[in-house]
Amino acid sequence: MSIELFNESGVEAPNDQIIEVARFAMGAMDVHPAAELSIQLVDLDTMSDLHMQWMDLPGPTDVMSFPMDELTPGGRPDASDPGPAMLGDIVLCPEFAADQARKQRHSFEHELAVLTVHGVLHLLGFDHAEPAEKAEMFGLQNQILTDWYDAREDRLREQRQAAKDSRLMRDLGFDSGPVGDGPGP
């Protein structure tokens, strides 16, 4: 999956984390591995302009999604390979997200992860206008986030264990180079 992120917001954001959670969400939704996604971080004024232009609503919002190609999760097993497709664009407003995070008493990073997954789901056709749609979309969003956090924790645990193992091997004197058959007598 190709994901490009452009931060034009003037706010420092965890770009790598945003890309990571977007990639995870796309994988969880079985999006074709050659799909492309663009994420743009913008300031309040730019988001206000987009919100008015596309939704006819005044003021900024947290996230907007602009789908490009029709992609469906999974696809048909007998279909020919469609090749790379542009999933669409997600536009995030970090300043708006930071304010929401404060109000909801969680971290800025978590808020951006939530909004990124939310944006990916919108690109895939999910909506929350009706109660049943909302329940489905937010349930899926929460499950993807839970799975992503679990996967991150597993990776961190593995990294910590590998570091401990490396220190132990070094302390035992096993860091003197490769082990194996050397030139014989």
Note the pLDDT tens digit of each residue in 103-133: 999 999 999 999 999 999 999 999 999 999 9
The C-alpha angle 103, 65, 100, rounded to 5 degrees, equals: 5
Spatial separation of the C-alpha atoms in residues 132 and 78, rounded to whole Å = 32
What's the burial of 93, exposed, middle or buried (CB within 10 Å: 0-12/13-18/19+)? buried
Q: What is the pLDDT of residue 78?
A: 55
Task: Give me the DSSP letters along 96-122.
Answer: HHHHHHHHHTS-HHHHHHHHHHHHHHH
Q: Is the pLDDT of residue 15 over 90?
A: yes
CATH number of 2-72+82-148: 3.40.390.30
pLDDT averaged over the chain? 88
Q: Are 64 and 50 in contact (CB under 8 A)?
A: yes
Give the pLDDT of residue 1: 80
Domain segments of the chain as ranges? 2-72+82-148
pLDDT tens digit string along 135-157?
999 999 999 999 999 999 988 88
Helices (H), 29-77: 44-55
At 44, the amino acid letter reads L
Q: Is the pLDDT at 167 greater than 90, yes or no?
A: no
Continuous H helices in the chain: 15-28, 44-55, 94-104, 108-123, 131-171
